[in-house]
Structure 1
Amino acid sequence: MSGGGIARGRLAEERKSWRKNHPHGFVAKPDNAQDGSLDLMVWKCIIPGKPGTDWEGGFFPLTLHFSEDYPSKPPKCKFPQVSSILMSTHLELCAYLILNEDYGWRPAITVKQILVGIQDLLDQPNPADPAQN
């Protein structure tokens, strides 16, 4: 199986697993390709704000872009323009910490773990990390 076949196979399994069991309020699904078919390499996601935090009641969209090298290499995470530049910058830094192949990425990390990890970092940033102020 080629590298792309491995990536697509893994993503198909992750989609199946997500559909059976995912955290309440979260959305993660492959985008539609131009021909209307599912594009397993691009996922549209929504992370809900965690109850009891400043983010409660918010919904934070993002897109995960997977390469043919997935799961050996992490997906790229893109946040569309959100209400404030600070928020967008904070989310980009959080995602960088989870999805940096030189920092802490492991091929066993799932889409569910990525999204829950970003939700956790929204309210519990790691001030000891030099990437966060």
Structure 2
Amino acid sequence: MSGGAAGGRLAEERKLWRKNHPFGFIAKPEAKKDGSVNLMCWKCFIPGKEGTDWEGGLYPITLHFSQDYPIRPPGWKPSITMKQILLGIQDLLNQPNPSDAANFEPNQLFIKDPAEYKRRVQLEAKKYPPTI
């Protein structure tokens, strides 16, 4: 396990996650070769929300935390937890912000050809079926 403020915060978040996490989400610290965990790197899966074009997919994401987490998080308040980050990403899947897009090509498709965007989203959902 990692020490310091970041490691302590992430260890606490891990305990909270194990007790209460959103249904269908998976988040686990990366396993090291020696069997210990690396709290600074988490392998996560975000389910597509029911009733959306993303439904049916379980989307992989890796979260890398720096030693100065949560004091200097990239783009959110230090009080925001990993759980809130993952829920926020899930919300962005179905409600992207076209004025602040992270990926140009899908953003242009979302704006200019919503039907094609929807078709591609549904194809993505089929690529990432739940494995549990």
Q: TM-score range by the shorter chain?
A: 0.7 to 0.9
Residue identity matched to 1:31: E
Matched letter for residue 28 of structure 1: A
* Matching of residue 64 in structure 1 with residue 60 in structure 2: no
Q: Aligned partners of 2:101 and 2:45: how far apart in 1?
A: 27
CA distance in 1, matches of 2:34, 2:14: 20
Taking the TM superposition and a 5 Å limit, the aligned residue runs for 1:1-133 are: 4-74=3-73, 101=74, 104-129=75-100, 133=107
Q: CA RMSD in A?
A: 1.7
CA distance in 2, matches of 1:119, 1:130: 15
Q: 4+ residue stretches of structure 1 with deviation over 6 A?
A: none
For 2:87, give the aligned amino acid.
Answer: V
Which structure has more relative contact order (CA 8 Å, sep 6+)? It is: 2
Task: In structure 2, list runs of 5 or more residues that go unmatched.
Answer: 108-132
TM-score normalised per structure 2: 0.72
Following superposition, the deviation at residue 130 of structure 1 comes to 5.9
What is the TM-score of this pair, normalised by structure 1? 0.72
SS in 1 for 2:42: strand
Whichever of the two has the greater Rg, that structure is: 2
> Deviations for 1:18-55, whole angstroms, at most 9, x for unmatched residues?
00101000001111012110111111100001000111
Unaligned runs of 5+ in 1: 75-100
- The whole-number CA distance in structure 1 between the counterparts of 2:59 and 2:72 is 24
Shift of 1:128: 3.3
Secondary structure of the 2:59 match is: strand
Task: Report the identity percentage.
Answer: 72
Distance 1:130 1:56 in 2: 21
Residue by residue over 1:41-70, the C-alpha shift from the partner in whole angstroms, topping out at 9 and shown as x without a partner, is 111100001000111000001111111111
State the distance in 2 between where 1:29 and 1:71 align: 18
Give the distance between the partners of 2:64 and 2:89, measured in 1 at CA: 16
